[in-house]
Amino acid sequence: MVRMLEYVRQEEITGLLQKMIRAESVNPPADTRRCAGVLLDLLEAEGVPTERVEAKPGLVNVVATLSGGRPGKRLILNGHIDTVPAGEGWSVDPFGGELRDGYVWGRGSCDMKSGVAAMVMALVDLKRSGASFAGEVQFQAVADEETGSARGTLHLIEQGYCDGADFAICTEPTSNRVELGNRGLRWIDVTLSGTASHAGRPQLGVNAVAAAAEIIGRIEAFEFEARDERFEISAPSISVTTIEGGHTVNVIPDRCHFSVDRRMLPGETEAQVLVELEAAIAPARAERRVVVDIAVRPGCWDPYTIAPEEPVAVAAVEAARAVLRREPEIGYKAACTDASHLATRAGIPTVLLGPGNEQLSHKPDERIAVDALVSGAAIYVHMLRELLV
Ligand SMILES: [Zn+2]
């Protein structure tokens, strides 16, 4: 028999999400004190042992751990509580947490306070049931994801919170479909140094802007052979995303800086990405006497996938099938998520599964269907029961 939410009411889940949306936590600056406070109050009231992990003043992560009565596996539930800024064009208050027409509205309702609310209520359901189970479940609400994960998931990994975990669920919006990987990403800064001179005597200088233009032309002409049709976007990509250089109109510029966003498929490595970029740079370096410095930003995401046979993937499919009463879709995410870090840095087989709708995320009028939210919580309850035996 499918075990749905027995100890938690639908209104408790929507009410929690409304409170979380009202506790604004836009990143930057990722001040999550209020939103983390909502979770801390709830977990304390429920008697779940909880820690407040402040990675930097204002950036509060919440870690709650529930142990069963018997030895067993260790499961991590991970979601971020920071959000992107509200932006313009809303028809409702983005931080009002309104419940209307079967939806909860507001910034973070999809990405991903809904998933976090569903996870914590699944944990509360397990606690209230009083049932003994094997192993341990750890819920992590992280403070920092939208602008990088250094003070969030990466911090928790560094501090040992993920040690010894057997599987993890990351609640990024997937519309409750099961996703078994994401593409990788490197952000790379390229700085060119030339020699300034009077623009009336350009032969005395080394023009860093012209050299950058030549390199960017080669980058734009890259053709990638790698394909992985499992992914929503099945090829790698490279984009030059910012550029600045020069001083004034009549001086040959001695500096130019541009940044690159490189999306990776599984099998591609940072070393390969740098070799390929170096090939675009080498001719300018040799022929123009320009000095080129390349720096990969820290904390970038590696591509990852897990096998559909992994216990956490099997449990996700079974739970989604039971709750949604149809065959769940399986996918692979184009964007990067903290699941990368959990899978590649902490070595934990990780599934992406969350109630939010990716198509409505990072936009005005972001909203989550109450049905999807409650189904998400029920899927997690089901997975806890499957995995902690
Ligand atoms: Zn997210």
Residues 229 and 328 in one domain: no
> What pLDDT was estimated at residue 299?
85
- 239 contacts 260 by C-beta, under 8 angstroms: yes
Residues 264 and 158 in one domain: no
Does residue 2 surpass a pLDDT of 50? Answer: no
Residues 113 and 219 in one domain: no
123 Cα to the center of ligand 1, angstroms: 20
Rounded to a whole number of angstroms, the distance between the first and last alpha carbons of the chain is 17
Between 3-7, 79-83, 160-164, 189-193, the lowest mean confidence (pLDDT) is in 3-7
Q: What is the mean pLDDT of residues 26-55?
A: 97
Q: Measuring CA to CA, how many Å separate 149 from each of 30, 110, 241?
A: 11, 19, 21
Total count of domains within the chain: 2
307 Cα to the center of ligand 1, angstroms: 23
163 Cα to the center of ligand 1, angstroms: 23
Give the bridge partners for 78, in sequence order.
Answer: 140, 170
144 Cα to the center of ligand 1, angstroms: 10
Closest CA to 109 of 14, 184, 40: 14
113 Cα to the center of ligand 1, angstroms: 9
Ranges of H-type helices in the chain: 10-22, 33-46, 113-129, 153-158, 208-220, 270-288, 311-324, 338-340, 370-387
Domain finish residue from 296, 322, 337: 296
Backbone angles phi, psi at 262, to 5 degrees: -120, 115
Residues 83 and 230 in one domain: no
- 174 contacts 168 by C-beta, under 8 angstroms: no
Residues 178 and 243 in one domain: no
Does residue 1 surpass a pLDDT of 70? Answer: no
**Residue type at 236 in one-letter notation:** P
Give the bridge partners for 185, in sequence order.
Answer: 263, 301
Instruction: Decide if 310 is inside a domain.
Output: yes
Domain finish residue from 277, 296, 315: 296
Domain that holds residue 141: 10-182+303-387
Helix, strand, coil percent values for the chain (each to nearest 5): 35, 30, 40
pLDDT band, very low/low/confident/very high, at 150 (cuts 50, 70, 90): very high
Residues 15 and 111 in one domain: yes
Q: Measuring CA to CA, how many Å separate 20 from each of 25, 81, 96?
A: 9, 8, 10
To the nearest whole number, what is the mean pLDDT of the chain? 96
Residues 246 and 178 in one domain: no
Tens-digit pLDDT profile for residues 218-262 = 999 999 999 999 998 999 999 999 999 999 999 999 999 999 999
pTM for the full model?
0.92
Closest CA to 296 of 158, 152, 191: 191
> What pLDDT was estimated at residue 127?
97
- 386 contacts 318 by C-beta, under 8 angstroms: yes
142 Cα to the center of ligand 1, angstroms: 11
Does residue 4 surpass a pLDDT of 80? Answer: no
Residues 204 and 150 in one domain: no
Q: What is the mean pLDDT of residues 154-178?
A: 98
291 Cα to the center of ligand 1, angstroms: 38
Residues 147 and 47 in one domain: yes
194 Cα to the center of ligand 1, angstroms: 40
Does residue 288 surpass a pLDDT of 60? Answer: yes
Residues 175 and 318 in one domain: yes
Instruction: Decide if 5 is inside a domain.
Output: no
Domain finish residue from 266, 296, 326: 296
Residues 68 and 171 in one domain: yes
Q: What is the mean pLDDT of residues 85-112?
A: 97
> What pLDDT was estimated at residue 105?
98
Question: Which CATH number do you get for residue 190?
Answer: 3.30.70.360
